[in-house]
Amino acid sequence: MGAFDEGRFNVELENGVNLGGCVELGFEEDPETVAIEDSVKILLQGLGEDVNREGLRKTPLRVAKALREGTRGYRQRVNDIVQGALFPEAGLETGIGHAGGAGGIVIVRDLDLFSYCECCLLPFQVKCHVGYVPSGQRVVGLSKLSRVADVFAKRLQDPQRLADEVCSALHSGIKPTGVAVVLQCLHIHFPNFESAFFDLNHQGWVKMQFTSGAGVFEDDKADIWGDFRSLLKFRGINFEKTCPRDSSYKCWCPSQAISKMGPANSGMVSAVASIIRSLGEDPLRNELLETPTRFVKWLMNFKKLHSFRAKLVSFWSQCEHHLLPFHGVVHIGYIRTEGVNPIGKSLLQSIVHFHGFKLQVQERLTRQIAETASSLLGGDVMVVVEANHACMISRGIEKFGSNTATVAVLGRFSTDLASREKFMQSIPNFPTAGE
């Protein structure tokens, strides 16, 4: 709990103060933070990095803070949020109909959340829709539906369990006629070397929808779900195809395939298990047993490469400041020079790949691609890198829609606006993550 005791913290929750990071003030000296920092250093060393290199010096602390902030839900209690925000509100007389504090759906849609996948420790994005049917002549403050969802999102999660936990917490907190939760989840695909090389249709995202219902929503064939579905349709949200809840359900995380490939560095695996323990979780919980191995295998994708490899469509890289992925597309333009042969797209892709699969910052990646391309293509090269950074959504600032572009201009591109514009105009619009 850092500097605050739980009693005080719950008072803040009840009064609706923003929780973003508050519990973490002063937590730099906490033994949990220090333990995570030590583990992150082991991971960096396992990647062949110098932990004292300028760009990496504060990385262990940043990673520790982001992880603790991103799992603050373990230290929050839901009842205090809800019970401080129940307001009396008249309903209709029995028999006339349903509205207000007695029946009539209330739904809040398009809540942006993120959570950490318990399978691989990478963040996943959630578009959350929560509804309930009031009863007992009372309604709950609308923002509390968001706050409660956030408490469970800020833990190591499986999306179906997240839906179930939010649903059941609201049901017991508000005591309404029923609660429904629909989650649209996006998990980044694993940029595993093998799949990146051999699967040219490799998709960037795994998308899946999850639902949970309690009370009148418990039966997923109940009429009331029809109303809920209609209210989502107004916003263009279609959730017919949800993940099955029966025995055919398998974890959605693409890391499961990867963990079966060969052994991982045991020191790094122990370090990740120790991080999980420091976050307040039990690394021996069944769903977490393989997580350290999977995370290490993900991380090892970003060990420095020593030779060029084959084709790649989009690029993936790992931000060296936060040890979180960023991914996107690279556009390379060049002016053909007499005596220099044009090079194929596959070689350009290999260059991107070579510089992408290591700990990086986007600015450096852009420069390095430009330098290498220029050595092959003559001096007139321009590179635009468009990327989404997980660190921009899964840390304090939580800027869900943001995205970054970086530019390198060499030779004539650096002085000739017309050439730059011509190249820029040839670039198609960049799709938003998950579209």
Pick out residues in 336-395 that bind a second copy (CB under 8 A): 361-364, 366-367, 370-371, 374, 379, 381, 383-384, 386, 389, 391-392, 395
* Cα 277 → chain centroid: 21
What are 288's two structure tokens? 């977490």
Do the beta carbons of residue 51 and residue 45 sit within 8 Å?
yes
Q: C-beta of 199: minimal distance to a second copy in Å? A: 26
Single residue of 101, 178, 204, 215 touching a second copy by CB under 8 A: 101
CA gyration radius, the chain? 24
Per-residue contact string for residues 283-322; x = within reach of a second copy by CB under 8 A: --------------------------------------x-
Single residue of 269, 409, 419, 433 touching a second copy by CB under 8 A: 409
CA dist., res. 262 & res. 48, Å (int): 19
Q: C-beta of 103: minimal distance to a second copy in Å? A: 7
Do the beta carbons of residue 362 and residue 292 sit within 8 Å?
no
Q: Is 154 in the site for a second copy (CB under 8 A)?
A: no
What are 8's two structure tokens? 């005080």
Compute the Cα dihedral for 127, 253, 228, 77 and give only its sign. Answer: negative
Q: C-beta of 250: minimal distance to a second copy in Å? A: 30
**Cβ distance to a second copy smaller for residue 248 or 425:** 425
Task: Report the site for a second copy in 251-290 (rule: CB under 8 A).
Answer: none
Q: Is 400 in the site for a second copy (CB under 8 A)?
A: yes
Task: Report the site for a second copy in 42-71 (rule: CB under 8 A).
Answer: 54-55, 58, 61-62, 65, 69
CA dist., res. 113 & res. 109, Å (int): 12
Q: Is 230 helix (H, G, I), strand (E, B) or coil?
A: helix
**Cβ distance to a second copy smaller for residue 52 or 286:** 52
**Cβ distance to a second copy smaller for residue 116 or 252:** 116
CA dist., res. 326 & res. 383, Å (int): 17
Compute the Cα dihedral for 357, 55, 393, 24 and give only its sign. Answer: positive
Single residue of 103, 136, 280, 283 touching a second copy by CB under 8 A: 103
Residue where the block lists tokens 């190591």: 156
Per-residue contact string for residues 110-149; x = within reach of a second copy by CB under 8 A: xxx---------------------x----x-xxx--xx--
CA dist., res. 50 & res. 15, Å (int): 46
Q: Is 397 in the site for a second copy (CB under 8 A)?
A: yes
Do the beta carbons of residue 159 and residue 128 sit within 8 Å?
no
Residue 313 DSSP label: S
Q: Is 80 in the site for a second copy (CB under 8 A)?
A: no
Q: Is 196 in the site for a second copy (CB under 8 A)?
A: no
CA dist., res. 203 & res. 283, Å (int): 30
CA dist., res. 60 & res. 42, Å (int): 10
Q: How many CA atoms lie within 13 A of 319 on its CB side?
A: 23
Q: C-beta of 350: minimal distance to a second copy in Å? A: 20
Q: C-beta of 98: minimal distance to a second copy in Å? A: 5
Q: Is 430 in the site for a second copy (CB under 8 A)?
A: yes
The region of 200-208, 259-267, 341-349, 427-435 touching a second copy under the rule CB under 8 A is: 427-435
Task: Report the site for a second copy in 204-223 (rule: CB under 8 A).
Answer: 223
The region of 35-43, 151-159, 252-260, 409-417 touching a second copy under the rule CB under 8 A is: 409-417
